[in-house]
Chains A and B, each alone.
Chain A
Amino acid sequence: MLKNYFKIAFRNLIKNRSHTLINIGGLSLGITCAVIVFLVIQYDLSFDTWHQNKDRVYRVVRYETDFGNEDYDRGGPYLLAEGIRSGIDGVETTVLVNTNFGAPVFTLPEASQTNKFSEGNTAMADPGYFRLFDYRWLSGNPDNALEDPNTVVITRRFANRVFGTTDVLGKELVMNTGEPIDLVVTGVVEDPPANSDYPFLVIGSSSSVSRNGTEFGIDNWGSNSSSWQTYVLLNEGVTKDHIDAQFDDLITKHRGAETAEVLDFFLQPMQAIHFDSRFDTYNGRVVEQQTLWTLAIIGFLLILAACINFINLNTALAVRRSKEVGLRKTLGGTRSQLIVHFLSETAVITFISLLIAVGATEFSLRFIEPILGFTLPTGVFNNTALILFLIGVFLLTTLMAGLYPAYYLSRFNPIKAIKNNLSASYTSGLSLRRGLIVTQFAITQALVICTLIIANQTRFFKSEDLGIQKEALVEVSIPYDDKATLDTFKQQLVRSNSIHSVTFSNSGSTNGNVWGGNYYFIDDTLKTENGAEVKFGDEDYVSTYGLTLLAGTNYRPSDTTNAYLVNESFARQVGYGDRYTELLGKEVRFWGKQASIVGVVKDFNTQSLHTQLAPVVITPERNYTLSGIKINTAQTSEAIELLEATFNEHFPDHVADYEFLDERIASMYEDEERTRKIMNVFTGIAILIGALGLIGLISYMATTKTKEIGVRKVLGASMGSILTIFGKEIIVLTSISFFIAAPVAWYVMNGWLSNFAYKIPLSPTVFLLSFLCTLLLAFITVAYRSIKAALSNPIISLKTEQ
């Protein structure tokens, strides 16, 4: 029986070639998207799921209410781990992971060695690290590898890079941070897989780090750093709440009751780390579950759109098959047998589409992966979940696309069907078909609106004036702040024509790395305490970053620590509005140092445009970690060469790790850029599927209306008036779908934009534009077929009518 069904199904598919192609084309596009979405979701859900103790591992994170601002951070004080060990009950192992080294340079101890290996994935961790995180060990003992000071565990990749072999147990390494650290390799592990949020290639014992104050704030409960993260392994049966409840006492003990009011620690489950955008991960990628849901919904909508094509075409074509239905019923076919028959035809189409989709996925991944920014695991047959997913998609699609047409076709009255005598209302099902087209148009339009808004927002991010001059500016990390070294470094550089100016600062102008604190503004009448960001910059800071002075002057080299520059927001915060000149000479006390304001600069964005402008205090306090270099764009390569040479001369144990400021700022919007590109792809496909469906439907409409068109033409209708028959329908359907799509898109995009401090307004232009685009696309799609119908010779079309 089934064999018979499939045989007939194939013959029917070949007979209605063009419709088969439209159906298969649309479905395979939709399924391809769904498969890619599935792979992405599967990949994100697979992060760090192999650690044996994963259900008991937590990261201790910090929550602070700072002048009404809620501040979440993944790091805490260096001393937190020790504090937990001695003061919190229920924890089996506590591990501090210290990444406060940037990308340290490793060298071999032999003097003759000149090779330098910079490695950004470096951490110093407490001995329990390997109790919490599972690695595949090539050599060494996970239980005590980090027990002693000056030990290190490295991965296969790093071992091969430095030593050329993985057989390196007992070999020595020097880690060049502020103070060189000698390390002995006590273990070699397999590289962490791509789906791990702990991409470390070098893990040293944290007891190797000197505690004698070389690292700023290391022995202070008050200083926090996101580079100091604390992980805990709880005892069996201990809950997160049990631990969270104890942090208040710990904070009170070390920071006092007042701080305990505004500061809190709590546990973040390891399983949640990949999905909580309040906190970052070591590899910099966090995916909100909401994002995954959105992806899943888009994938489903695309399959739905393809199924709608299928339903529309098949119910429209039903008339052609009515005779067959009638006959089969007369010959004893029951309704359920007919439904199974038609479903099996759908199953054939779905199956072919599925095969094409699997091939198309493999093919398109190489174009999708650069957009996603990560590599997905390949292979269908070793991925059980994917196979199950494909089976699910097959069943769902077959039912979604096939059930209604099957139900509809099998309903025909056999006598009327055999005589091809089905009344118009019986076969047209126009309202349903219109409803489906509206649904499909609504999906397309909503995606078009979202894509346009996302594109506008990303363009806005890149073009918006930040109040600085980010072009032709190179930044390089300074390993340590030594006045004599930095002075000669600067002099050597500015002597060249290729370099305009050089400045040293703690964090440049616009940077993810934000320093801040409380200041007292000392006025004749008031003495207020407020929070501000602080920039440590030398006398060339303002000119190099292109800040605009609104009042007063820049500080001179001789001012050293006796001067402050503030920005507009600062002036507003202390109640001076735009009366900048009155602010000059007023005293400010910041971090214990009191000095007067010498100038006011125009506001500039110290962080990405996701964040609001903040009050900023600029002072020549020495704590420089970054050099900003304005270069002559006509001589870029000379400038870079000179920079590298000069850097190596002064900091021989380090690598000049330079970046162009405009590129780094652009990279702050990588997430949005990625969203934009993914949306482009999805919207393109939705449009394609919609267009395919429209072509099919219009060609059907044209066939059924041949007689009507013939009669109208004989009666003197012009071509224009005949095109109106088709055009009116499309305008009406597009309009209705627009009124469904617009509010949904508005709601979703309003939510998305609320993530950003600086955003484009949701103007009606975008909505109108997407409406017109969809309309235009629909017209282009149907133009050929309807013009052909309008041009057809009425004599022929009327003659062929029986």
Chain B
Amino acid sequence: MIKLRDVDKSIHHKLQRTFILKGIDLDVQEGEFISIMGPSGSGKSTLLNILGFLDGDFDGEYHFLDEPAHRLSERKKTEYHKTHIGFVFQAYHLIDELTVYENIEMPLLYRKVKGKERKGLVADMLDRFNLVAKKDLFPEQLSGGQQQVVGVARALIGKPKLILADEPTGNLHSKQSHEIMKLFKALNDDDGVTIIQVTHSEEMAAYGDRVVHLADGSVVEQNPYG
């Protein structure tokens, strides 16, 4: 599904070139659940941004579903956002002015899904994540864990093939974290959704099929099936 070859990401600062990512090779098969680990500043988030088409400013090759993503047009990238990729953020990033229901509904609006179908899809999601009773609440009225559940629901509503999660449990306490991870695991097992998460926690990383370790912008260790 994903194939990175010799991907570099650097910033220029007063004639100096600093590498954030250097020589990244990465293959991800459809249906995998991968955890990316590494110390702060090792380039985990940057890698995730590149994978999610949020950052197109890099050198090297990125093939997404056998298409050269490094040459994709802006329109095509937005298209992938909409149809193939769901994002889950550490800080949940729900829109404060929208209710739970509206937050989950939002990606569908951008895809011009018809009203009736939209209602059905959102209702399914609410049902699945036990959010029905909370659908008219605003984010600030929810606990962190609940907000992240909404965040996951929002990422899933577009039926993405790939979920990119940037420290999805970073702001949660342990019990909530495990619930979110179980959710991911179930999605991965039952629905075959590919999941790539960035995490600091060995415990959370263990939910994945394999772990990719980054240090100073390079992949130091891949343990396929380990």
Cβ of A59 within 8 Å of any chain B Cβ, yes or no, is: no
* Contact (A415, B54) CB under 8 Å given A4-B109, A331-B110, A334-B110: yes
Within the complex, the shortest CB–CB distance from B172 to chain A, in Å, comes to 18
Contacts of B66-105 to chain A: CB distance below 8 A: 75, 78, 81-82, 87, 89, 93, 95, 97-98, 102, 105
B154 touches A15 (CB 8 A): no
Within the complex, the shortest CB–CB distance from A744 to chain B, in Å, comes to 43
Cβ of A1 within 8 Å of any chain B Cβ, yes or no, is: yes
Scan B152-182; emit 1 where CB is below 8 A from any A CB, else 0: 0010001000000000000000000000000
Cβ of B107 within 8 Å of any chain A Cβ, yes or no, is: yes
Pick the contact of B81 from A7, A331, A415 — CB < 8 Å?
A331
* Contact (A418, B93) CB under 8 Å given A4-B102, A4-B109, A331-B154: yes
Cβ of A712 within 8 Å of any chain B Cβ, yes or no, is: no
A334, B73: Cα distance in complex, Å: 13
A12, B78: Cα distance in complex, Å: 26
B158 contacts across to A, CB distance below 8 A: 332
Cβ of B6 within 8 Å of any chain A Cβ, yes or no, is: no
A332 touches B110 (CB 8 A): yes
Cβ of B17 within 8 Å of any chain A Cβ, yes or no, is: no
Cβ of B49 within 8 Å of any chain A Cβ, yes or no, is: yes
A324 contacts across to B, CB distance below 8 A: 95, 97
A630 contacts across to B, CB distance below 8 A: none
Cβ of B12 within 8 Å of any chain A Cβ, yes or no, is: no
Q: Contact size class for B?
A: 20 to 34
A328, B154: Cα distance in complex, Å: 12
Cβ of A337 within 8 Å of any chain B Cβ, yes or no, is: yes
* Contact (A8, B110) CB under 8 Å given A327-B93, A330-B87: no
Within the complex, the shortest CB–CB distance from A16 to chain B, in Å, comes to 11
Contacts of A1-33 to chain B: CB distance below 8 A: 1, 4, 7-8, 11-12, 15
A334, B77: Cα distance in complex, Å: 10
A331 touches B54 (CB 8 A): no
Contacts of A749-768 to chain B: CB distance below 8 A: none
Cβ of A333 within 8 Å of any chain B Cβ, yes or no, is: yes
Which single residue of chain B is at the shortest CB-CB distance from A15? B97
Contacts of B98-142 to chain A: CB distance below 8 A: 98, 102, 105-107, 109-112
A331 touches B97 (CB 8 A): no
Contacts of A497-526 to chain B: CB distance below 8 A: none
Pick the contact of A1 from B52, B75, B109 — CB < 8 Å?
B109
Cβ of B55 within 8 Å of any chain A Cβ, yes or no, is: yes
Cβ of A323 within 8 Å of any chain B Cβ, yes or no, is: yes
Pick the contact of B107 from A4, A11, A332 — CB < 8 Å?
A332
A8, B78: Cα distance in complex, Å: 23
Scan A320-351; emit 1 where CB is below 8 A from any B CB, else 0: 00011011101111100100000000000000
A333, B112: Cα distance in complex, Å: 11
Contacts of A401-450 to chain B: CB distance below 8 A: 414-415, 418
A15, B95: Cα distance in complex, Å: 13
* Contact (A415, B55) CB under 8 Å given A324-B95, A332-B81, A334-B78: yes
B93 touches A415 (CB 8 A): no
B97 touches A332 (CB 8 A): no
A8 contacts across to B, CB distance below 8 A: 97-98
A337, B107: Cα distance in complex, Å: 12
Contacts of B1-56 to chain A: CB distance below 8 A: 49, 52, 54-55
15 new A-B pairs (CB below 8 Å) besides A11-B97, A332-B81?
A1-B109, A4-B102, A4-B105, A7-B102, A8-B98, A327-B93, A328-B95, A330-B52, A330-B54, A330-B87, A331-B81, A331-B106, A331-B107, A332-B78, A414-B54
What are 17 inter-chain pairs, A to B, with CB distance below 8 A? Answer: A1-B112, A4-B102, A4-B105, A4-B109, A324-B95, A324-B97, A327-B93, A330-B54, A330-B87, A331-B81, A331-B87, A331-B107, A332-B78, A332-B110, A333-B110, A334-B75, A415-B55
The 7 lowest CB-CB distance pairs between A and B, nearest first, are A332-B82, A332-B110, A332-B81, A11-B97, A331-B107, A333-B110, A415-B54
